[in-house]
């Protein structure tokens, strides 16, 4: 396996920024993604399957995504692959949230 998720220790990628007193979640949406993902680990798919799903994110997207954006990608992918929701249902909900509903 040789992808963007396996870059630990690679040279030339620049320093890893360390945020002093970093909060657990930077935004409320991150906490929600964490909660939804954690609930699904216990009930629908194991953490290893979730990790594999995040590793299937296109490399450019993976490198440009924040930590919980990868979790959200994996959650949406697994929910649709396991036929728990459809991509159309996800898009519909995103549209609702964008309108403030």
Structure confidence at residue 3 (pLDDT): 56
Closest among 98, 52, 92 to 75, alpha carbons compared = 52
At 14-46, the pLDDT tens digits run 777 788 999 999 999 999 999 999 898 878 888
Least confident of 8-17, 24-33, 65-74, 90-99: 8-17
Q: What is the pLDDT of residue 43?
A: 84
Q: 72 is written with which tokens?
A: 């959200």
pLDDT at 9 > cutoff 60: no
Phi, psi of 60 (to 5 degrees): -65, -40
Q: Give the pLDDT confidence score for residue 22 in this predicted structure.
A: 92
């Amino acid at each position: 396996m040789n992808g963007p998720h396996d870059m630990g220790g690679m040279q030339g990628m620049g320093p890893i920024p360390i945020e002093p007193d970093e909060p657990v979640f930077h935004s409320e949406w991150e906490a929600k993604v964490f909660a939804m993902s954690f609930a699904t680990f216990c009930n629908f798919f194991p953490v290893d399957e979730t990790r594999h799903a995040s590793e299937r994110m296109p490399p450019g997207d993976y490198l440009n995504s924040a930590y919980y954006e990868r979790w959200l990608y994996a959650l949406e992918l697994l929910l649709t692959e396991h036929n728990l929701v459809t991509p159309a249902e996800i898009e519909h909900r995103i549209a609702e949230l964008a309108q403030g509903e």
